[in-house]
């Protein structure tokens, strides 16, 4: 039996039925669509002063204007574009890097595994933000720097997660069987291991998007981003810079902040659901609850070693 | 002792009550457990309500470094502890006597005699004398790593310093250089009897300073604040006990403290007429005199930016009034064509130069476009003009990210220049990276401002003289745009050799005309010197009605003039 | 003890890597500390002054490798040189007390969110399906979705500036550090509430969810069902068996959390003007203060390593299986 099919089918069935997932998907979809259509939807040029300074929300400026007189709605839309593509790139790159490291370790085993594990663990214990701050300070500001810096510092946890997942899968009978039959190790990694890691990889990827969005915003807030580029983080940076809250211009601050929080929240909702599907115990618990059984009977369970 | 004196204090609410009861509990229990209490450090702290609370230093990792020769030492080092011979007062335009009462040039302008006050003592009770002055200058000569207003004097124009008698110092010059006066008398003086025993004055931390200034006693020092109290031997009467300096991390935190009335003397809140003064119109005030000009600097080594026609066309595309409205809440005026601020240099300004140059510092994008068309900068397919070297006129303008007024000015520059077919991208950087790029000439467009000086001599030397042009890559704070004219050097030399005020004025007028003709920098608007005060507890701050000194805390020359005027308000 | 020795060796190696990265990172990037000096002094520095200052700052033109060896020796002796942005203060004096405040804030918030999260998670799992279980995860996920600095600024604005419930920053009210008596400690705690609360709010989610999920797993295991069948009161089952077992994964995560919280803490400290290392790091970076930056990065890394090692040791004490030398 290949777990991948059942995972896909199960995911479709369960994810679409769950309320949190629906809420998450709707929020995320709305934010992504609005950002993607910024060029169409934005009423003004986001970089130009098109109104007075710190005008509160009105019909001409739905989300008000910034301390420089730019339209907050237009900035929010264009900012979403710049923020989201960078965040997704970082998530894709860190996931790929983590997978490559984990599967290489699982494939070669022996000293390669030892070295890669050591490198991973070193990256894991070196605290992220200080390193990121130092790195970002020395490279020219811009989206590429952001992607590079956050990829370098963000992959290690995934590598450890994927490696232990691969190791535990390797113990399974079907892999042992494949090895006995004499299938090549690459084939085992590609055909047997990888597809079975679907739920873990998916959950990790979603987590990485959240990580990337908040880390990016934090760096930009500290002034280490490219201030000329409109992102949600740089909007916050400028809001803070012109003392928006003290001057009562809450809209310049709350709009990008809520955009970041809502994106992360919608992803977290989806992730939590993915997690429940990937975790057989929680899944069984849920199914039983649906069936009206308050406490699951132990006989239904097979304990599965799960990496926290 | 968290004094929260917001006029309308909201009711405390749950946590407020919790806090009150926590405190009551703590205080009540204090008596019973005092046997276990660790005794506080045995320093006699002057109560906070007797101290002027100021915001002058960022950060919160304060160290006890009071070496006045280090610009990164504590703020008080050169504002309350060590004093100069005379103070150039930028509010009045006069050279105020301080540790010295008078100066006199010799007829050939090759020696300068300075008379010292005879009632000055060091804070440890030792008398202050001409020997201390001589010692300070010689200490700086022997240790080139010591930086102060007179650093480098010996290598440029000074040949010796003599203590003629206890109260008379004679500076002998190697060449005539009358502007040297301002650097020499501006030099803060350190005590010989302490510093002669310092092994390495450059790395000396000076944790327990001995100075002639009003506040030299450090009676409390924490990680993010400290207080400095009276010098028992100060030579002037003082009506306040001392200063409390608190570190903040950012604009918002400073604004919050200022608006809450937790500061007596501070820097900047956005739009004070709206956010600050209305909170307590009787006590809250600000005064932003203008003693400098914000300049748009174009790197003249960069292709078309080297062409004065391009620079002038750029200048005519700019909406200066909008920069003033957005960046400084309307509290400034557009700069004139001489590059000099009006108030401090009103005696030097030439009305004809200003009138003739008015056109190129006023907004007129049509005329600017016409000038560029005629000069052969045709527009390319994308609407961007192309330089004579075939390169499109596309530039980056760099600015430090926290400097709001400048950042918004740069945004407006970028916007306005698009209207005349010049593509400008705003790049914000950290302050230090910006300084690196501008000082080494590795930039295209940037903003700058002139050092505050006693005469316009330095402004024209630092912006037009070949002597101030450093090769690109070598750091220099002056002439970042790398513009030099040998004719300017000649005029400056004539100025420096002259002791005749009328002749000096004529030379400056000529330089003003050359500046307006060549536009080595583009004057934007006059830079206000931020300063605000809260007179609920202390009175006597300088302001528009009583402009006896600058209010800005950042100038080295302001605070020393202000301390003797401050007084604690009666309860 | 083999396990602990093995972990210790690993941390020493990690520390060495950090020290090395720390040295080469700033030096491999373009930028000249000498022009930073010129920038700092801003007056016209002549060549002679610049040379003297470079010497005072300890900037040399020696080959990089030689500088590295000198640097290693200095680090071992605890000599980090003088801070460029606080010259002539030694770097260690700048870091000084800030370190203690960072540790206080960090430990308080980590422990608080660990305890609070574990309790909330256990309750949610015990009453799973109930309103508490349904409400808690989404609310915590939502709070956790805010960047630290954003929530910190909001709290600062509302509770410190507008309502005045908490002091607007700093770690204590007096100028000299307060005496450690009741009022002094009360004062320190009062200043700790707002920043610690921010960190707890943002970081509570994972603790709660991990605990909840682990508890649900543990609760379904045979022996618990058996214990319940034997008629043990449910409260005792929850406390004595389930919670202890379910806590283990959370304790493992504690080590990693120290690092993560430290990152968020830097931003929180900046917003609340808390005198920890957060602002010092920012200042060091923006002022290109190499010596300070190096020392800060190193100290932060070493503290996180130490915390991880402590957690490892704690884990060994709590989980007998590891002592025999399982997977690290």
Domain ranges of chain C: 92-296
What pLDDT does residue B80 have? 94
Instruction: Please name the member of A53, A141, A246 whose beta carbon is closest to the beta carbon of B255.
Output: A246
Q: Kindly state whether A303 is in contact with chain C, defined as any CB-CB distance less than 8 angstroms.
A: yes
- Give the count of beta carbons closer than 10 Å to the beta carbon of residue B17: 12
Binning pLDDT at 50, 70 and 90, where does residue C45 land? low
Contact C123, C132 (CB under 8 A): yes
Query: Are the Cβ atoms of A257 and C222 closer than 8 angstroms?
Result: no
Region at C325 (left for phi over 0; alpha for psi -120 to 50; beta for the rest): left
Task: Please tell me which residue, B196 or B555, carries the higher pLDDT value.
Answer: B196
Query: Edge-to-edge strand order for the sheet containing B394-400?
Result: B423-429, B394-400, B445-449, B290-298, B522-528
What pLDDT does residue B85 have? 96
Neighbours of chain A (3+ CB pairs under 8 A): B, C
What pLDDT does residue C326 have? 42
CA–CA dist B177, B173 (Å, integer): 8
What pLDDT does residue A185 have? 74
Task: Please tell me which residue, A205 or C21, carries the higher pLDDT value.
Answer: A205
Strand, helix or coil at C146? coil
What pLDDT does residue C264 have? 74
* Residue B2 in this model has a pLDDT that exceeds 70: no
Contact A241, A235 (CB under 8 A): no
Q: Kindly state whether B273 is in contact with chain A, defined as any CB-CB distance less than 8 angstroms.
A: no
> Maximum distance among all alpha carbons in chain B?
89
Least confidently predicted of A202-206, B147-151, C216-220:
C216-220
Binning pLDDT at 50, 70 and 90, where does residue A298 land? very low
**Residues of chain B contacting residue C43, judged by C-beta atoms under 8 Å apart:** 147, 149, 151, 477
CA–CA dist B468, B473 (Å, integer): 14
Q: Residue B148's closest CA among B68, B224, B81? A: B68
Strand, helix or coil at B501? helix
* Residue B458 in this model has a pLDDT that exceeds 50: yes
Contact B238, B246 (CB under 8 A): no
DSSP state of A189: I
Q: Kindly state whether B270 is in contact with chain A, defined as any CB-CB distance less than 8 angstroms.
A: yes
- Give the count of beta carbons closer than 10 Å to the beta carbon of residue B267: 22
What pLDDT does residue B532 have? 93
What pLDDT does residue C222 have? 59
What pLDDT does residue B510 have? 96
Contact B148, B161 (CB under 8 A): no
Q: Kindly state whether C40 is in contact with chain A, defined as any CB-CB distance less than 8 angstroms.
A: no
**Residues of chain A contacting residue C26, judged by C-beta atoms under 8 Å apart:** 134, 138
Q: How far apart are the first and last CA of chain B?
A: 18
**Residues of chain A contacting residue C301, judged by C-beta atoms under 8 Å apart:** 125-127, 130
**Residues of chain B contacting residue A253, judged by C-beta atoms under 8 Å apart:** none
CA–CA dist B457, B491 (Å, integer): 10
B445-449 and B394-400 beta bridge pairing: parallel
* Residue B58 in this model has a pLDDT that exceeds 80: no
Contact C277, C284 (CB under 8 A): no
What pLDDT does residue A11 have? 56
Q: Which of A213-217, B513-517, C114-118, C248-252 has the highest mean predicted lDDT (pLDDT)? A: B513-517
- Which residues are CB-contacts of B521 (< 8 A; sequence separation ≥ 6)? B295, B296, B297, B298, B339, B448, B463, B481, B483
- Which residues are CB-contacts of B11 (< 8 A; sequence separation ≥ 6)? none
What pLDDT does residue B131 have? 96
Neighbours of chain B (3+ CB pairs under 8 A): A, C
ipTM of this predicted structure: 0.78
Q: Which of residues 158-197 of C touch A (CB under 8 A)?
A: 161
Strand, helix or coil at B397? strand
DSSP state of A221: H
* Percentage of chain B modeled with pLDDT above 90: 61
Least confidently predicted of A64-68, A291-295, B55-59, C43-47:
A291-295
**Residues of chain B contacting residue C40, judged by C-beta atoms under 8 Å apart:** 71-72
* Residue B486 in this model has a pLDDT that exceeds 90: yes
- CA C52 to chain A, closest CA, distance in angstroms equals 26
**Residues of chain B contacting residue A65, judged by C-beta atoms under 8 Å apart:** none
Q: At what angle are helices C182-219 and A280-290 packed, to 10 degrees?
A: 70
Q: Kindly state whether A50 is in contact with chain C, defined as any CB-CB distance less than 8 angstroms.
A: no
The pLDDT tens digits for C292-323 are 888 888 888 888 888 888 877 877 776 655 55
* Percentage of chain A modeled with pLDDT above 70: 82
CA–CA dist C163, C161 (Å, integer): 6
Q: Using only C-alpha atoms, what is the Rg of chain B?
A: 26
**Residues of chain A contacting residue C154, judged by C-beta atoms under 8 Å apart:** 257
Binning pLDDT at 50, 70 and 90, where does residue B98 land? very high
Q: Which of residues 275-334 of B touch A (CB under 8 A)?
A: 275, 322, 325-326
The pLDDT tens digits for C29-39 are 655 666 666 66
**Residues of chain A contacting residue B270, judged by C-beta atoms under 8 Å apart:** 67, 242-243, 246-247
Q: Kindly state whether B426 is in contact with chain A, defined as any CB-CB distance less than 8 angstroms.
A: yes
What pLDDT does residue B47 have? 84
The pLDDT tens digits for B100-120 are 999 999 988 899 999 999 999
What pLDDT does residue A277 have? 65
Q: Residue B296's closest CA among B323, B333, B325? A: B323
CA–CA dist B436, C42 (Å, integer): 11
Q: Kindly state whether C325 is in contact with chain B, defined as any CB-CB distance less than 8 angstroms.
A: no
Strand, helix or coil at B62? coil
The pLDDT tens digits for C48-66 are 777 888 788 777 777 888 8
* Residue B341 in this model has a pLDDT that exceeds 70: yes
For residue B158, the cross-strand partners are B173
Report how far apart, in Å, the C-alpha atoms of B571 and of each of A86, B6, B50 are.
59, 17, 11
Query: Are the Cβ atoms of A134 and C26 closer than 8 angstroms?
Result: yes
Task: Confirm or reject CATH 1.10.3720.10 for domain C92-296, answering yes or no.
Answer: yes
Round the average pLDDT of chain A to a whole number and report it. 78
DSSP string, B302-319: SGGGG-HHHHHHHHHH--
Query: Are the Cβ atoms of B260 and C168 closer than 8 angstroms?
Result: yes
**Residues of chain C contacting residue B292, judged by C-beta atoms under 8 Å apart:** none
Q: Kindly state whether B144 is in contact with chain A, defined as any CB-CB distance less than 8 angstroms.
A: no
* Residue C214 in this model has a pLDDT that exceeds 50: yes
Indicate which of C147, C285, C308 best probes the interface with A, i.e. most A CBs within 10 Å of its own CB.
C147
Task: Please tell me which residue, C258 or B226, carries the higher pLDDT value.
Answer: B226
**pTM as predicted:** 0.81
């Amino acid at each position: 039996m290949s777990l991948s099919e059942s995972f896909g089918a199960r995911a479709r069935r369960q994810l679409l039925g769950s309320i949190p997932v629906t809420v998450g998907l709707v929020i995320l979809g709305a934010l992504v669509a609005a950002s993607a259509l910024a060029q169409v939807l934005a009423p003004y040029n986001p970089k130009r002063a098109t109104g007075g300074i710190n005008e509160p929300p009105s019909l001409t400026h739905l989300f008000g204007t910034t301390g420089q007189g730019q339209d907050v709605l237009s900035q929010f839309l264009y900012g979403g574009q710049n923020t989201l593509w960078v965040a997704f790139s970082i998530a894709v790159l860190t996931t790929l890097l983590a997978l490559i490291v984990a599967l290489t370790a699982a494939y070669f085993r022996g000293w390669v595994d030892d070295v890669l594990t050591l490198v991973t663990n070193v990256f894991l214990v070196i605290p992220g933000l200080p390193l990121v701050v130092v790195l970002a300070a020395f490279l020219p500001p811009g989206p590429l720097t952001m992607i590079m810096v956050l990829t370098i510092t963000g992959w290690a946890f995934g590598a450890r997660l994927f490696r232990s997942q691969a190791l535990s899968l390797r113990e399974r009978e079907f892999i042992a069987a494949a090895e006995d039959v004499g299938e090549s190790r690459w084939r085992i990694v590609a055909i047997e291991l990888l597809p079975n890691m679907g739920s873990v990889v998916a959950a990790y990827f979603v987590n990485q998007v959240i990580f990337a969005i908040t880390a990016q915003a934090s760096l930009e807030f500290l002034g280490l981003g490219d201030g000329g580029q409109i992102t949600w983080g740089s909007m916050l940076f400028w809001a803070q810079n012109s003392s928006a809250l003290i001057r009562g211009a809450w809209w310049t601050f709350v709009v990008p902040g809520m955009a970041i929080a809502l994106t992360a929240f919608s992803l977290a909702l989806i992730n939590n659901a993915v997690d429940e599907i990937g975790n057989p115990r929680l899944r069984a618990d849920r199914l039983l609850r649906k069936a009206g059984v308050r406490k699951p009977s132990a006989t239904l369970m097979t304990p599965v070693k799960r990496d926290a | 002792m968290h004094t929260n004196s917001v006029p309308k204090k909201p009711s405390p609410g749950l946590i407020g009550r919790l806090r009150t009861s926590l405190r009551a509990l703590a205080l009540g229990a204090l008596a019973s457990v005092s046997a276990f209490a660790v005794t506080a450090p045995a320093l006699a702290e002057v109560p906070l309500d007797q101290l002027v609370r100021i915001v002058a230093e960022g950060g919160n990792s304060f160290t006890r470094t009071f070496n006045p020769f280090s610009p990164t030492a504590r703020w008080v080092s050169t504002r309350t502890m060590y004093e100069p011979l005379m103070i150039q007062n930028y509010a009045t335009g006069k050279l105020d006597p301080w540790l010295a009462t008078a100066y006199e040039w010799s007829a050939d302008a090759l020696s300068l005699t300075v008379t010292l006050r005879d009632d000055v003592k060091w804070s440890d009770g030792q008398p202050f004398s001409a020997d201390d002055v001589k010692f300070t200058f010689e200490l700086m000569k022997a240790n080139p790593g010591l930086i102060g207003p007179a650093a480098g004097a010996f290598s440029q124009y000074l040949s010796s310093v003599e203590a003629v008698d206890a109260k008379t110092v004679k500076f002998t010059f190697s060449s005539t250089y009358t502007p040297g006066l301002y650097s020499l008398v501006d030099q803060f003086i350190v005590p010989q009897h302490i510093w002669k025993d310092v092994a390495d004055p450059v790395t000396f931390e000076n944790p327990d300073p001995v100075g002639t200034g009003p506040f030299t006693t450090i009676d409390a020092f924490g990680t993010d604040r400290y207080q400095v109290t009276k010098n028992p031997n100060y030579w002037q009467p003082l009506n306040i006990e001392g200063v409390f300096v608190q570190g903040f991390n950012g604009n918002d935190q400073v604004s919050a403290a200022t608006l809450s009335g937790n500061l007596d003397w501070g820097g900047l809140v956005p739009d004070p007429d709206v956010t600050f003064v209305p909170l307590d119109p009787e006590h809250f005030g600000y005064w932003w005199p203008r003693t400098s000009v914000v300049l748009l600097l174009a790197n003249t080594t960069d292709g078309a930016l080297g062409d004065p026609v391009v620079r002038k066309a750029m200048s005519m595309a700019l909406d200066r009034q909008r920069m003033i409205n957005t960046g400084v809440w309307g509290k400034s005026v557009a700069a004139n064509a001489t590059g000099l601020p009006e108030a401090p240099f009103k005696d030097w300004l030439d009305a004809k130069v200003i009138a003739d140059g008015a056109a190129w510092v006023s907004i007129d994008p049509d005329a600017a476009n016409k000038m560029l068309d005629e000069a052969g900068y045709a527009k390319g397919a994308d609407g961007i003009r192309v330089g004579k070297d075939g390169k499109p006129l596309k530039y980056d303008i760099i600015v430090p990210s926290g400097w709001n007024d400048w950042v918004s000015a740069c945004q407006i520059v970028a916007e306005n220049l698009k209207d005349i077919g010049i593509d400008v991208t705003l790049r914000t950087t950290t302050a230090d990276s910006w300084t690196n790029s501008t000082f080494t000439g590795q930039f295209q467009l940037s903003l700058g401002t002139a050092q505050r000086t006693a005469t316009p001599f330095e402004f024209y030397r630092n912006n037009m003289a070949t002597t101030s042009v450093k090769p690109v890559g070598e750091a220099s704070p002056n002439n970042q745009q790398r513009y030099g004219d040998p004719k300017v050097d000649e005029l400056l030399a004539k100025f420096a050799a002259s002791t005749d005020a009328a002749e000096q004025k004529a030379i400056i007028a000529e330089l003003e005309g050359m500046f307006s003709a060549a536009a080595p920098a583009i004057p934007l608007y006059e830079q206000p010197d931020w300063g605000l005060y809260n007179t609920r507890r202390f009175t006597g701050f300088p302001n528009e009605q009583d402009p006896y000194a600058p209010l800005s805390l950042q100038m080295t020359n302001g605070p020393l003039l202000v301390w003797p005027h401050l007084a604690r308000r009666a309860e | 003890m083999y396990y602990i020795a093995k972990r210790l060796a690993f941390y020493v190696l990690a520390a060495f890597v950090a020290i090395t990265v720390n040295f080469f990172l700033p030096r491999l990037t373009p930028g000249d500390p000498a022009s930073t000096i010129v920038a700092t002094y801003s007056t016209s520095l002549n060549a002679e002054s610049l040379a003297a200052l470079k010497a005072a700052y300890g900037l040399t033109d020696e080959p990089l490798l030689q500088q590295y060896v000198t640097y290693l020796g200095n680090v071992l002796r605890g000599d980090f040189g003088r801070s460029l942005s606080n010259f002539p203060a030694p770097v260690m004096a700048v870091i000084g007390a800030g370190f203690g405040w960072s540790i206080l804030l960090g430990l308080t918030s980590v422990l608080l969110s660990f305890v609070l999260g574990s309790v909330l998670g256990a309750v949610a799992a015990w009453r799973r399906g109930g309103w508490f279980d349904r409400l808690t995860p989404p609310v915590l996920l939502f709070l956790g979705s805010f960047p630290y600095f954003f929530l910190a600024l909001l709290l600062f604005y509302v509770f410190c500036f507008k309502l005045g419930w908490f002091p607007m920053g700093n770690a204590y009210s007096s100028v000299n550090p307060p005496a450690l008596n009741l009022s002094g400690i009360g004062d320190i705690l009062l200043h700790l509430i707002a920043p610690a609360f921010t960190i707890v709010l943002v970081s509570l989610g994972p603790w709660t969810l991990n605990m909840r999920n682990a508890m649900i797993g543990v609760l379904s295991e045979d022996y618990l069902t058996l214990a319940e069948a034997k008629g043990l009161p449910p409260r005792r089952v929850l406390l004595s068996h389930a919670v202890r077992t379910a806590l283990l994964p959370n304790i493992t995560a504690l080590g990693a959390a120290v690092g993560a919280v430290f990152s968020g803490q830097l931003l929180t400290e900046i917003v609340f003007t808390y005198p920890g290392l957060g602002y010092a790091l920012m200042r060091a970076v923006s002022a290109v203060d190499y010596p300070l930056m190096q020392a800060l990065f190193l100290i932060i890394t070493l503290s996180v390593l130490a915390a991880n090692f402590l957690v490892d040791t704690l884990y060994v004490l709590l989980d007998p299986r590891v002592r025999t030398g399982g997977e690290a």
